Structure formats: structure tokens, C-alpha cells
Amino acid sequence: MKVLVINPGATSTKVAVFEEERELLKKSIIHTAQELEGFDRVIDQAELRQRAVLEAVAEGGFRLEDFDAVCGRGGLYRPIPSGTYAVSDRVMQDVEQAPYGEHPSNLGAYLARRIGDLVGIPAFFVDPVCVDEMTEVAHVSGFAEFRRLSQFHALNQKSVGRKAARQLGKSYEEARLIVCHLGGGVSVAAHDHGRVVDVFNVKDEGAMGMDRGGGLPVNQLIDYCYAGRSREEVKRTLGRRSGMLSYVGTTDFREICARVVSGDERFTAAYRALVYQLAKDIGAMAALLHFEVDAIVYTGGMAYEQFFCDDITAYVGRLAPVLRFPGEEEMRALAEGALRVLHGEAQAETY
């Protein structure tokens, strides 16, 4: 069985072709800031990204008729449990109207369906950003009008969670894990017997990321918002220009580490704060798992840096053994989700 996989990100659309577990094509189409700046809404980019995907498929020597299914990454849709979902008309509508927020990954399922429909093959999405398996108590925020939301790197977190459990000789449904996705954004989650029962929301909470602030002091935030700034400006600053970028002027963690190694004080202070914040998040997740944790798992781009993982482990290593799966395999995880359905090992869920 052959699956076309589509993963739209902030600055790229990744395309891959899998024949069972074999990756036959892998391409990252870069979209420049100038190319995207004319589009107010994510949905407005659909034509451009679809054309780019179709070109990449043709250049790779494939025809759409070669595929058994198309699978896209899923974005900010209605909160749903983990799984492989068929792209229904309701998903298409939610991508068009974006009632749950704008995110480039919203387009994954949308493009999968549009391309699948061209040749009459099924379209799926797998473990979208909005996967919600949090317990009810975890949703409570501290103000009755606000609800904590589950928005995180669900695709990579779930896939790495399964891998870690296998390495521990357990099924994912038996394991208790704390998975730390250390990418451009960071998410630290408690996986309890196959469910992500709590997670520091990548957009709102917990440790800072490369360009996001994470949890911020509420009163300073209120004053900042009321100091003559527009909603758009505040969102842009806190969503894209805060975090490590605001301290050291770069989002490239390789550069940050190189400057730490060379003894730069400003970079070292920010780096230490990041390590400290991540350790604190891991400790919180350990507490809600009653300190019964089979492993702490590091994944994402930053996890390539062994000394960074070791520095976090210096705080939390007493809790549990540590496993490291650097990078992410989102394209493979998407293909595997579609193949599970095509092979009849799982049913496609309804959105």
C-alpha cells in the first residue's frame, strides 16, 4: 500500500511517500515569509500549498493514481481523542472557519481531502495538535471562565511514547511516561497507561520555547497588554518573538549551545533558565503520576544535544530512567496511522 503524506508547517510544507514502512520520497517545500505574508488566514494558503504538493509529487515521479490514501497532519480542530480520523465535511468546514484557532497544520487534513478527492482515494489525519485525553481535573485553570486546553505535539508525543514503551518491554497501555518534546515549541506531557492525562500547552504554559514565552507572570502580562498595544501585536510578540529569541536573539538551538560551550554569559543564563523551567515541568508531571514513572523521554530537535538532556537529567534523574529519541518522525507516524486503517488493524474514527 502506498500513502502520500502532507505536513504543513509555519515555513514549509513537507511531503513524503511511503510504501508500507519504506519511505520512497521526502521533500520539504520552503515557503518564504514574502510568499506567505499576503495571506491573512491560513485557509487562504490552501491553493498555493496544494499546487506545491502536486508539483512535488510529479517531480518525484509519482501519479496520484499510484496512492491508496492521502494522510495529512491535523491542527486546531475540536478536542478529540488520539487516533486516525477520516477527513469529513465537518473537518473541512472547521478548517475553513477556524473556530478553534489558526495554525498551519490545520491545512494538513484539508489538503489531504482535496487531493484525495481528485482521484477518489480516502483522506485521513492522525493525532492532531488538538488531541485531548486530559482528565477533567487537569482542565481546571484557576479561573472559572478559563479552561486549560490540550494543544501539543500529539503526533510525535504519541509515536515516541509507543517507541519508549517498546524499549521498556511494555505496551504503551501499560506504561507511565513523561515525554518532553523539545522542538521549536516545547511540550511536557504525562502519559498514563496510553493516555496523555496532562500536558503543558505548547502555546500557553510551562517552559519557554525558542520563540514562545510559555507561562508568563499574569500581572505583568495585563500591564503589557494595556500599554497601548493591539491584540495582534501582543499575540505576535508572545507567540513568535518571545522565549529564547527574546533573551539571546536566535531560535537556533545549535548556535545557543555553541555560545554556551564558548562561555558566553548571556547565552548561558538563558540556557540555564530553559533547563530549569523544563525540570520544573517534569517535576509537576511526576507529581500527578504519584511519582510512579517508568521513564522520562526526550524528543524533538533540541534533544540531539546530549549535554542539554544531561543538564535536565541532573535535576530530575532520580525520578526515573531517561530515554532519548532526538528529532521527530511525524511523516512516518502519519503514514503508519493511515496504514493501520488500510490494513484493517484500526478503524478510522469519525470527527
Ligand X SMILES: Nc1ncnc2c1ncn2[C@@H]1O[C@H](COP(=O)(O)OP(=O)(O)OP(=O)(O)O)[C@@H](O)[C@H]1O
- Spell out the SS3 assignment of the chain: CEEEEEEECCCEEEEEEEECCEEEEEEEEECCHHHHHCCCCHHHHHHHHHHHHHHHHHHCCCCHHHCCEEEEECCCCCCECCCEEECCHHHHHHHHHCCCCCCCCHHHHHHHHHHHHHHCCCEEEECCCCECCCCHHHHECCCCCCECCCCCCHHHHHHHHHHHHHHCCCCHHHCEEEEEEECCCEEEEEEECCEEEEECCCCCCCCCCCCCCCCCCHHHHHHHHCCCCCHHHHHHHHHHCCHHHHHHCCCCHHHHHHHHHCCCHHHHHHHHHHHHHHHHHHHHHHHHCCCCCCEEEEEEHHHHCHHHHHHHHHHHCCCCCEEEEEECCHHHHHHHHHHHHHCCCCCCECC
Tell me the residue number closest to ligand BUA, measured at CB: 185
Strand partners, 131: 80
Q: How far apart are CA 329 and CA 6, in angstroms?
A: 13
Find the shortest distance in angstroms from Cβ 183 to ligand BUA. Answer: 7
Spell out, one character per residue from 163 to 202, where the chain touches ligand X: x when CB under 6 A holds, - when not. --------------------xxx-----------------
251 binds, among ligand BUA, ligand X, none (CB under 5 to 8 A by kind): ligand X
Report residue 283 as a C-alpha cell: 517535576
Neighbours of 222 (CB within 10 A): 10
Find the shortest distance in angstroms from Cβ 245 to ligand X. Answer: 10
Question: Which of 260/285 has CB closer to ligand X?
Answer: 260
Q: Is 49 in the site for ligand BUA (CB under 6 A)?
A: no
Report residue 43 as a C-alpha cell: 485557509
Find the shortest distance in angstroms from Cβ 45 to ligand X. Answer: 18
Q: How far apart are CA 215 and CA 209, in angstroms?
A: 10
Question: Which of 167/251 has CB closer to ligand X?
Answer: 251
134-153 residues near ligand X, rule: CB under 6 A: 153
302 binds, among ligand BUA, ligand X, none (CB under 5 to 8 A by kind): ligand X
107-146 residues near ligand BUA, rule: CB under 6 A: 129
Q: Is 14 in the site for ligand BUA (CB under 6 A)?
A: no
Find the shortest distance in angstroms from Cβ 130 to ligand X. Answer: 15
Spell out, one character per residue from 230 to 269, where the chain touches ligand X: x when CB under 6 A holds, - when not. ---------------------xxxx---------------
Find the shortest distance in angstroms from Cβ 253 to ligand X. Answer: 3
Angle between helices 46-59 and 106-119 (to 10 degrees): 60
Spell out, one character per residue from 182 to 201, where the chain touches ligand BUA: x when CB under 6 A holds, - when not. --xx----------------
Tell me the residue number closest to ligand X, measured at CB: 183
Q: Is 301 in the site for ligand X (CB under 6 A)?
A: yes
Find the shortest distance in angstroms from Cβ 344 to ligand BUA. Answer: 30
80 binds, among ligand BUA, ligand X, none (CB under 5 to 8 A by kind): none
Q: Is 202 in the site for ligand BUA (CB under 6 A)?
A: yes
253 binds, among ligand BUA, ligand X, none (CB under 5 to 8 A by kind): ligand X
Question: Which of 177/199 has CB closer to ligand BUA?
Answer: 199
252 binds, among ligand BUA, ligand X, none (CB under 5 to 8 A by kind): ligand X
Question: Which of 7/67 has CB closer to ligand X?
Answer: 7
Binding site for ligand X (CB under 6 A): 153, 183-185, 210, 251-254, 300-302, 304-305, 328
Query: What residue ranges bind ligand BUA (CB under 6 A)?
Result: 129, 152-153, 184-185, 202
